[in-house]
Structure 1
């Protein structure tokens, strides 16, 4: 072996060790059945500042690698018992966190045999007799690879730690969203409300933990019932918080807080026309709440005495009436969403509503649900489904509509919140 008089302080192992922040020199394992060969290599390696362990067989070297964290292995190819090639294969099978740079000593130069070594997991080759300057060059290459691997491991640890912290935050947020979902569901605690001469049935299925849809009803007096369907723009927590706030402005238990009422001359609360209710909400959104959100709404008041429904459509899907004879009527002309344009005006629509008829308000989670053919379920699909389920009423009818939507869309996970309310008028 050629001699080399380089000073230990300039050795590649110590330079790399300093850069990677690892304590102590690199650990090199020399495996060769020739004692003289091992001794010559070890002398050079120790002189260059490496920690060296010697083994006379592949089996002994494998045992050392299983117990000790070895950085570089220099192994003879031809050895009795476990050959250097098999030693390399079994070394690669060990469960090690750090990479080990494996150099095979060989007199083989055939392309096929070199390919076998690479296939077994060898990183480099040295031809016997080993030249000192070539050995130093191979070690420097190994040092560079080990340094890059150590850097990657350090970055992976940082990423794993960050992901762990993010998972904790996600789990905490998910628990909060689950509780928020429970609270949001209480906004429509009574899924069916019986008013005697009519019955309101509600449906709310969020696409996520929480949603931006809201449906509800309240009694105005013994002869009138108000129903509404709201869809706040966007998804998630912000939309859910807005629906919770809007629900407070449409409560039937506190007329003084309900934007649909105003104080009359006698001091009592008087119901506003539907178009005035929409205008009030529009001013509220733009002048007081001043959020980036807006919402669509259908708001209707049913009067059993005059047999009439008065409603306003503010950018919401068209309200539908399922007549007693099974025919379906589409109501409204579209209208502007609420919270977009100051001083927006809304038109009221009045139409007849007789005993046995049903009034349906739904969100665009129904009408804009995508189908496998690239089309939307649409209002035509909703009307078709409504006609086929005309023999049902209340909650059963709403569930039938959802079933049709699930069947046609190919799954029960919808991209948007699906909500609706149906008011059945008693036939008596």
Structure 2
């Protein structure tokens, strides 16, 4: 008979004789645990078996290998320990009273614990169908009884690698979650800044509608993003003239918006800063010829602002009494004049955008706004809003909108135009939309 082994004050030689297979003690005495690497971290193993002797034998092997060991005599105790102590490994016998090993594994997997538990089934079953059933129940590995210490520890080391990968993934996920939280916080701060920038940009155009004697001017500014590169507005030149302008800076976003803000100062409501104005020999403010203003802005873009961007523009100086308008078109879509009787005229000849060529020339032209007429200047974000087939509204589409909204005026008309354009494009807005609408009352007020 083998020499008794003392463990925790107990003598277990009689238990080992009942383990159900020969040579257990000799195998136990041959374990070369010192040659096995220690488990990474502080791994905890739960041994589940209704046989006390089998649990004790496995516990000896595991503790000598450096593992922390817990024992359960059945599935009910095992489930409680899983919830309370969160083991890293479970070694479970297949056949136990009540719940079997595969059923226990399935239940643990169903409980959805946060940390992955590496589950090894101990079984005397060698049939491939039984092994497949155990693995399909959620087990990671299995060992056939009788189990040698070297094979058991080798399987645990393989599980160690899986758990180490899980630890790395969890650590990476934690870092990723922290990074995402920081990005969300930064995005919220950026959104707040962009919302404030949008409000400031909207403020550049002043009131959405203004009045100059018999004329009403309505503005639309709808960026494709938080902020955009379009700008419209109007200002008084003197007691009998006023100016209107529309600008569309190339590109989108912050860079375009910053250039727009810079250009807004050139059309400031403060007459002593407005580049469109000068003081005549009588000390009165007058409008520079529109073509002269375009040449000045072109020179400013190319020599002082040092930017690769450019912009399109329409600027008009309008006489309140006669309705005579002097206008320059610099690459901006054609202004549309709707006469009181409903007729439509497209004005201008295109022209070069501002900020592209130092040698660019600009020409102004004149027309008259009669009582009951209205002038619409819209950006290419309105003209070129394509539908699914690539069709754009263009001048004909805008003419149709004006014709179908004969009884709609002011801000209501430009808003109606926007909804019509968005309906045409399926709700997609690829570019900033802006417009300025000048309407002359049918009868003097």
Verify: 1:387 aligned to 2:403, yes or no: yes
Partner of 1:417: 432
In structure 2, the residue matched to 1:281 is: 297
Give 1:266 deviation, angstroms.
4.4
CA distance in 2, matches of 1:121, 1:189: 68
Equivalent runs, 1:126-205 vs 2, <5 Å: 126-205=143-222
CA distance in 2, matches of 1:426, 1:170: 47
Superposition map of 1:158-307 within 5 A: 158-252=175-269, 254-307=270-323
Larger Rg: 2
Deviations 1:328-354 (A, max 9, x none): 111122222212222321121222322
Out of 342, 367, 392, the position equivalent to 2:358 is 342
Contact 1:283 1:343 in 2 (8 A): no
Give unmatched runs, 5+ long, in structure 2: 1-23
Q: CA distance change for structure 1 residues 80 and 320 in 2, over 3 Å: closer, same or farther?
A: same
**What is the Cα deviation at residue 103 of structure 1?**
0.6
- What pairs up with 1:319-358 in 2 under 5 angstroms? 319-358=335-374
RMSD of aligned C-alpha atoms? 1.9
The residue number in structure 2 matching 1:37 is: 54
Offset, 1:179: 1.5
Match of 1:427 in 2: 442
* Counterpart-to-counterpart distance in 1, 2:237 and 2:285: 10
State the shift of 1:173 in Å.
Answer: 1.3
Match in the other structure for 1:96: 113
TM-superposition CA deviations, 1:193-223 (whole Å, max 9, x none): 1112211011112222222111101122233
Structure 1 residues 388 and 156: CA distance shift in structure 2, 3 A: same
Q: C-alpha separation between the residues in 1 aligned to 2:419 and 2:135?
A: 59
Matches within 5 A, 1:63-102: 63-102=80-119
Shift of 1:29: 0.9
How far 1:269 sits from its partner (Å)?
3.4
Query: Could you tell me whether the CA contact under 8 Å between 1:191 and 1:203 is conserved in 2?
Result: yes
What is the CA–CA distance in structure 2 between the aligned matches of 1:272 and 1:346, rounded to whole Å?
14
- 1:61: how far off? 0.9
CA offsets, 1:51-109, max 9 Å, x none? Answer: 11111101111111101121111111111112111211121133433211111112233
TM-score normalized by structure 2? 0.89
